[in-house]
Amino acid sequence: MFIRLKQAAAPEVDLRTTYDAVVVGSGAAGGMAAHVLTSHGMNVLMLEAGKKLDINSELKSMEWPYDHPRRGQMAPSNHALSFNEYTIRQPPYAVGSRYKHVYSYVQGWGGSDYSKNIVVDEKDHPYSGTKYAWVRARLLGGKTNIWGRLALRLSDYDFKAKTHDGYGEDWPISYADIAPYYDKVDLYLGISGVKENLPHLPDSLFQRPNKLTAAEVTLRSSLRKMDRVLTPYRAGVTTDGLKHNKYRSKCFGRGACGRRAGGCDIHAAFDSPTGLIYPALDTGHLTLRTNATAREVLVDPKTGKARGVAFVDTETGRSYEALATVVVVAASTLESARLLLLSKSTTHPNGIGNSSGHVGHNFCEHVMGPGVTGLVKDRIGQARTLDDGRPGGFYVPRFRNLKEKNRNFLRGYGFEGSAGTTIFPEHAMETRGFGADFKKSVRDRAGAYISMGGFGEVLPRFENHIDLDPKLKDRWGIPTLRFHYKFGDNEKKMCEDMANAAQEMFEAAGFEILDVSRTMLTEGWSIHELGTARMGSNPKTSVLNQFQQSHDVKNLFVVDGSSHVSASCQNPTWTIMALAWRSCDYLASEFKKGNL
Amino acid sequence: MGDDEKELTRRDAIKLGAAATAAVSLGVGHLEAQAQAGGFLTQGEFAILDELSEMIIPTDVHSAGAKAAKVAAFIDSQLAEAWDEKDRSEWRAGLAVVERLSQQMHGATFMKSSPEQRLALLTRMAQNEAKPQKPEERFFKELKSRVVYAYYTSEIGIKQEMEYKGNTYQGDYAGYD
């Protein structure tokens, strides 16, 4: 085989000892914290709420549809929430369901049997309030096991967005502060792409890019005339290999990468376990405790400092306390805010780190839905090519509100898209008729379609927030989140423009427009929730400083997407990891000085 | 939780460029002509479905069709384990509509009617595909969607008909730029 997966035996958790740091969560942020802190020689305990799964036997990435008893689909007793359900119902969505298990919408895609143990059952994990399509993965590595892999940098158009357009707050860092850490992430984890020299989408240190299909090249040429850019999908995938990581193979373009929710069982695509956690275990400084749901950050009443984390064993329901000098929260934007709010004490009556009252607020993300599908006529009847042997298709970076100002809305959006053949000819579902003509039409038109969909920046607003539901609890008796979150006028106007711009670009490229989608998908759909514990230099209006360190509690760090001050329109994972790296370097240095 | 909802989810996925591989269905590997083993349909119903599936996706010079791909067996196994009794009863009712229509149009059962008569019947079922109204039109939509899914996720559909070249070592990705 291509890879060796044997890991070092993990040390058993010792609850009598005080670890240098306890990290809550094992996704992109928690994995990075474990990597950086152990590389500085700190002894780290990682708590993960989910299981440690044998991920390769879950994903079976190379299994043919016809070799699976349901061609990849989960059992009919299980149900995935649909757009309609999110639209007409209020959470908690699984209440009263006649299905055995209820999952978020991602399980409605093909290949759901491979991710049924990865995404959470809504029955165990209810939430309330406004409608929200909340996608969660509880297992070692979290959502990185199934992420979309688009790996983008943010720029000073994002970090200094208020300076640029007057809205919201600037981040307490600029691009120059984080650029060296983006470089570190690029080199340590691998990223593929093409340099474009765009000020609003800085280049990474790229490995070999995936190539564009014929229709994508046509679109790129056409967009150049409009002074817009189309670049191959910047994927958090190693295409040249990583000599320092024995757990990951380089991408060999085998195809079927489009299976969603997918995963990559050769781990060419980044995931936190093989990219960060297994190497951290190999240092001997990391202890892993899975099936451990954090329920509270413990506080020393004398000093007001964090002293560890209380957690519930998800199998036995028993409660435990893990002690540490530093607490690093990395449970995902919403779960981290939930944990802070759950951690009420005499010293921190509104929840730990929440003297500002901003925890849970300024919640933002990406809005999606508008997009376009076109027919590329000169691709009809062409010889068959393999077009899905790559992590993604193309990306069209933001072009709004950079040099010119759009009078209707603030900020911008980018598009993700692809053209070409896929293992399942989705257009067959839409092709009319039957018989030999139908069959030939499906055959001839394979690979002749192109589509793209937008991801737009949702403005952070104080009133968009989450808090704890006063009654509702999860399966382990822990209070759950209540949403008070809605897209606003800026998002609606942006989405109208997104749909129009998408149509205009496809028309200019000569594609026959088959469908223009103008529907905004449910809040949460992008799985890019951000901002519930934002950074800032003012402790009255922010939760964390520029090193993701609590203004209130100096040995408490929150290193995930909750710290982001604004959403940008560029996907957050790479920024989450670059920031976590920077903060954990600072943390380790402060720890060694005895300042924590 | 009708098919409309499922379909919407599927379509969303495509529109969003998700390259949706709607991999799915039920793979009943070894079902031969006798449908009932692990299935739901009676032998008579199964025979009609088998014929209809082949009419929708026939064998042609390029590749084998739905019969060879055991599309009917796959659909039958899906029905057998469907969570909603309604899925089964609607299919039974749909196949009964086909029988009634055949009697009405040709005075013969579907299986005893001629190829030309069967074609006339299926053409009538398919006439309002965009906006099906009558029971036979609605059943056509359901029937075709399941046949298409089952066929293009079968080995014949993927490898022979669509000549899919992936899911194997490639060395390098061959693109155009």
Q: Which amino acid is at A551?
A: H
Q: Is the pLDDT reported for residue A75 higher than 50?
A: yes
Q: How many CB atoms lie within 10 A of CB B97?
A: 18
Mean of the pLDDT values across residues A257-275? 83
Task: Return the ∠ at Cα A437 (arms to A432 and A442), rounded to 5°.
Answer: 65
Residue B168 is predicted with a pLDDT of 81
Which DSSP helix (H) or strand (E) runs through A19? strand A18-24
A458: helix, coil or strand?
Answer: coil
Kindly identify which residue of chain B lies nearest to residue A433, measuring between CA atoms: B126
Are A295 and A319 in contact by the 8 Å Cβ rule? The answer is yes
Helix axes B135-152, B3-15, angle to 10 degrees: 50
Are A48 and A322 in contact by the 8 Å Cβ rule? The answer is no
Q: Indicate the average pLDDT of chain A.
A: 95
Cβ-proximal residues to A430 (8 Å cutoff; 6+ apart), any chain: none
Task: Return the ∠ at Cα B26 (arms to A443 and A65), rounded to 5°.
Answer: 50
Are A244 and B6 in contact by the 8 Å Cβ rule? The answer is no
According to DSSP, the β-strands at A479-484 and A128-129 are parallel
CA diameter of chain B: 61
* CB spacing of A110 vs B22 below 8 angstroms: yes
Residue A1 is predicted with a pLDDT of 35
Cβ-proximal residues to A319 (8 Å cutoff; 6+ apart), any chain: A295, A310, A311, A312, A313
Does A92 sit behind a cis peptide bond, omega within 30 degrees of 0 on the bond before it? Answer: yes
Task: Return the ∠ at Cα A581 (arms to A575 and A583), rounded to 5°.
Answer: 100
Q: Which of B17, B23, B130 sits opposite A72 (nearest CB)?
A: B23
Q: How many CB atoms lie within 10 A of CB A542?
A: 21
Candidates B116, B162, B163, B168, partner chain A, best to mutate (most A CBs within 10 A): B162
* CB spacing of A255 vs B154 below 8 angstroms: no
Helix axes B71-80, B135-152, angle to 10 degrees: 110
Residue A226 is predicted with a pLDDT of 96
DSSP 8-state symbol, B38: T
Size of interface A-B (CB pairs under 8 A): 244
A-facing residues of B in 91-120 (CB < 8 A) are none
Give the lowest-confidence range in A177-181, A420-424, A436-440, B35-39.
B35-39
Instruction: Show me where the domains of chain A are located.
Output: 191-266+366-457+487-522
* CB spacing of A423 vs B20 below 8 angstroms: no
Residue B141: list chain A partners with CB under 8 A. none
Q: Is the pLDDT reported for residue A572 higher than 80?
A: yes
Cβ burial of B58 (10 Å; 0-12, 13-18, 19+) is: middle
Residue B9 is predicted with a pLDDT of 41
Kindly identify which residue of chain A lies nearest to residue B30, measuring between CA atoms: A69
Are B72 and B65 in contact by the 8 Å Cβ rule? The answer is no
CA distance A589 to A583: 10
Q: Which of B62, B129, B176 sits opposite A443 (nearest CB)?
A: B62
Q: How many CB atoms lie within 10 A of CB A473?
A: 12
Which has more confidence, A161 or A13? A161
Residue A256 is predicted with a pLDDT of 65
According to DSSP, the β-strands at A319-329 and A44-47 are unpaired
Instruction: Show me where the domains of chain B are located.
Output: 34-161
Are A579 and A559 in contact by the 8 Å Cβ rule? The answer is yes
Share above pLDDT 90 across residues of chain A, in percent, rounded to a whole number: 88
Question: For A470, what's the count of Cα atoms within 13 Å in the CB-facing half-sphere?
Answer: 0
Q: Is the pLDDT reported for residue A69 higher than 50?
A: yes
Residue B74: list chain A partners with CB under 8 A. 71
CA distance B38 to chain A (A): 12
Token pair belonging to A329: 């929260």
* CB spacing of B17 vs A371 below 8 angstroms: yes
Which has more confidence, A34 or B166? A34
Q: Indicate whether this model's pTM tops 0.90.
A: yes
Q: How far is CA A414 from CA A197, A453, B14, in A?
A: 16, 8, 17
Q: Is the pLDDT reported for residue A15 higher than 70?
A: yes
CA distance A422 to A259: 10
Note down pLDDT in tens along chain B; length 177 residues.
333 434 334 334 333 333 323 222 233 333 334 445 679 999 999 999 999 999 999 999 999 999 999 999 999 999 999 999 999 999 999 999 999 999 999 999 999 999 999 999 999 999 999 999 999 999 999 999 999 999 999 999 999 999 998 888 766 655 565
Q: How far is CA A579 from CA A177, A299, A333, A589, in A?
A: 9, 26, 14, 16
Share above pLDDT 90 across residues of chain B, in percent, rounded to a whole number: 71
Are A181 and A578 in contact by the 8 Å Cβ rule? The answer is yes
Question: For A35, what's the count of Cα atoms within 13 Å in the CB-facing half-sphere?
Answer: 27
Token pair belonging to A218: 């046509």
CA distance B23 to chain A (A): 5
Q: Pick from A218, A261, A253: which is nearest to A108 by CA?
A: A261
CA distance A208 to chain B (A): 11
DSSP 8-state symbol, B157: I
- The 3-state secondary structure of A346-404 reads CCCCCCCCCCCCCCCCCCECEEEEEEEEEECHHHCCCCCCCCCCCCCCEEECCCCCCCC
* CB spacing of A253 vs B171 below 8 angstroms: yes
Token pair belonging to A532: 């519930």
Q: What is the DSSP string of A413-442?
A: EEEEEEES--SS-GGGGT----SHHHHHHH
Are A82 and A61 in contact by the 8 Å Cβ rule? The answer is no
Are A310 and A319 in contact by the 8 Å Cβ rule? The answer is yes
Mean of the pLDDT values across residues A242-269? 82
CA-based radius of gyration for chain B? 18
Q: Is B32 on the interface with A (CB under 8 A)?
A: no
Q: Which of A255, A429, A517 sits opposite B15 (nearest CB)?
A: A517
Q: Pick from A171, A225, A181, A172: which is nearest to A202 by CA?
A: A181
Residue B167: list chain A partners with CB under 8 A. 62, 64, 254-256, 423
Token pair belonging to A184: 């570190």
Residue A84: list chain B partners with CB under 8 A. 4-5, 8
Name the region of A411 (left: φ>0; alpha: ψ -120 to 50; beta: rest). Answer: left
Token pair belonging to A409: 């809305």
CA distance A515 to chain B (A): 8
Residue B37 is predicted with a pLDDT of 64
CA distance A406 to A404: 7
Cα torsion A573, A575, A581, A584 to 10°: value is: -100
pLDDT in tens, B70-104: 999 999 999 999 999 999 999 999 999 999 999 99
CA distance B74 to chain A (A): 9
DSSP 8-state symbol, B3: H
Q: Which amino acid is at A571?
A: N
Cβ-proximal residues to A550 (8 Å cutoff; 6+ apart), any chain: A352, A353, A543, A544, A556, A557, A558
Residue B30 is predicted with a pLDDT of 35
Q: Which of B12, B58, B175 sits opposite A83 (nearest CB)?
A: B12
CA distance A488 to A464: 10
Sheet holding A449-457, edge to edge: A231-232, A394-396, A413-419, A449-457, A366-375, A512-517
Q: Is the pLDDT reported for residue A105 higher than 80?
A: yes
Are A191 and A184 in contact by the 8 Å Cβ rule? The answer is no
Q: Which amino acid is at A359?
A: V
Token pair belonging to A63: 């299994």
Q: Which CATH architecture has domain A191-266+366-457+487-522?
A: 2-Layer Sandwich (3.30)
CA distance A92 to B144: 35
Are A231 and A210 in contact by the 8 Å Cβ rule? The answer is no
CA distance A558 to A547: 9
CA distance A438 to chain B (A): 8
Residue B15: list chain A partners with CB under 8 A. 371, 373, 451, 453, 515, 517
